[in-house]
Structure 1
Amino acid sequence: MQSDQDAPALPHVPFTEEASADAATADAPRPAWRGWIHAGTFPFAVAMGIVLISLAATPAAKAASAVFMATSMVMFGVSATYHRFPWGPVVKRVLKRIDHTNIFLLIAGTYTPVAVCALPHTLMVVVLWVMWSGALLGVAFRVFWIGAPRWLYVPLYLALGCAAFLILPQLFAASVPMTVLVLAGGVAYILGAAVYGFKRPDPSPTFFGFHEVFHALTVVAFAAQWAGILVIALDPVR
């Protein structure tokens, strides 16, 4: 009879089953800064979300801004919780799945106020359907194949995030400052994804490694896109 250790690895894994990626990184050095960047950002994300919702000019802009706020809070909160504490194997694997799926949700959550506040109605509906459908597909992918290699799933993040290039004329027509800020945030996210995918630069594996560089870039990206969303939420086109 074939033992469990000899059984072939399958892409589909249960929600709490150990994947090869977990085993490969179990003994990796843990930088002292691991989790602190997103933990420190979380309360600021809450405050920035409250400001954004309060200042948004219309009920639709407020609702869309609330979606952005919620996905931002979940992303930073779960990331800090997952990375900061030495969880047991089962809890760690569950949090890892949630952490990775939150990236897709934040992408869709960021597009939501941009689409609602800056695009004509028909195009807004199309963009929201595409973004949230893609995000939910990405969530399913990351839940059921957490051990997938970086080169396979990082491009999925990038493809969904870079879809904004298809609607650049409409975004620039709505607001040049908003578009520039959202694109600047997108560039920071892309740089962060490259750092995460290539694991470089890795300044100090025991203090501030490549993962911390990635987290720092996500904070820069979030701040830039928050500012862009604030610009259009103050003066939406519809």
Structure 2
Amino acid sequence: MTSAAVAAAAPPAALVEQDGRPTLRGMLCVYGLFGFAVAGAALLAFDPSARRWPIAVFLLSVVALMGTSGLYHRVRWSVTAYYRMRRLDHAMIFVLITGTETPLFLVGLEGRGLDWMFYTALAFAAAGFAITMFWVSAPKWVRAVVYVVVGWSGVPAIPHIVEAMGIGPLALLLGGGLLYSIGAVAYALKRPNPWPGHFGYHEVFHAFVVAAAATHFAVIAGL
């Protein structure tokens, strides 16, 4: 059999990748989905004020990201559906960033004239979501630039955060951002990779994402 025939007979890369997943791939996201759903429901139940809807936006963004990632990593998809779910999984990062900023700007920093900053970040996040979902051939650097712009869009608000909320919440916000960043580095380097067949570098990344989201949850719950 020629090499071309062997290549043609080989299963698609998407199926090979799914069949090679560690056994715990996506489980942290599933646990996170239920954990944040329960904690979020309790938080909203005891907070009937007008600030509830921005907080609900954050909670929905976390649950949506965890649910999407859990589905993507736990289900064996067809080739076409696999690539669609992968794009959606990546695009949900923009949803989470915007969801996190919504209560911070609209509740924590309300009345400080920073709405323009929030809506600018929202516009970039919408662009990033659209690029990730629909511009399939987009160069990686394009998505990387949008991730960086959206992710750092709240930095100019730091002095206002200190004035309105104090050093403690700012430290937690920055700590959560640091956890996200450490997870991203682990994902990029594929290290550490403790138990490749069960709990690998991707699971380490998910662990940092869940921890970072929980840190930001603590800040938003205290607004």
Aligned in 2, Cα 1:212/1:155: closer, same or farther, shift over 3 Å?
farther
Aligned in 2, Cα 1:55/1:139: closer, same or farther, shift over 3 Å?
same
Aligned in 2, Cα 1:56/1:134: closer, same or farther, shift over 3 Å?
farther
Aligned pair partner of 2:63 in 53, 73, 78: 73
Structure with greater contact order relative to length (CA < 8 Å, sep ≥ 6) = 1
What corresponds to 1:236 in structure 2?
none
What corresponds to 2:28 in structure 1?
37
Distance (whole Å) between structure 2 residues aligned to residue 38 and residue 114 of structure 1: 24
Q: Does 1:49 align with 2:31?
A: no
Distance (whole Å) between structure 1 residues aligned to residue 218 and residue 136 of structure 2: 33
TM-score after normalising by structure 2: 0.85
- Can you list the C-alpha shifts for 1:41-81, whole angstroms capped at 9, x where unaligned? 1111111211332344730x201011111111110011101
Any unmatched runs of 5+ in structure 2?
1-11
Q: Does 1:104 align with 2:61?
A: no
- Can you list the C-alpha shifts for 1:194-229, whole angstroms capped at 9, x where unaligned? 222232222233221111111100000010000001
Distance (whole Å) between structure 1 residues aligned to residue 116 and residue 141 of structure 2: 28
Q: Does 1:27 align with 2:4?
A: no
What corresponds to 1:134 in structure 2?
124
Query: How far apart are residue 34 of structure 1 and its match?
Result: 0.4
Distance (whole Å) between structure 1 residues aligned to residue 112 and residue 78 of structure 2: 47
Any unmatched runs of 5+ in structure 1?
1-22, 233-238
Give the paired residue count: 209
Query: How far apart are residue 97 of structure 1 and its match?
Result: 1.7
Query: How far apart are residue 130 of structure 1 and its match?
Result: 1.4
What corresponds to 2:109 in structure 1?
119
Distance (whole Å) between structure 2 residues aligned to residue 131 and residue 119 of structure 1: 15
Query: How far apart are residue 148 of structure 1 and its match?
Result: 5.5
Q: Secondary structure in 2 aligned to 1:163? A: coil
Please tell me the root mean square deviation across aligned C-alpha atoms, in Å: 2.1
- Overall identity of the aligned pairs, in %: 32
Distance (whole Å) between structure 1 residues aligned to residue 136 and residue 23 of structure 2: 25
Contact kept? 2:124, 2:146, Cα under 8 Å: no
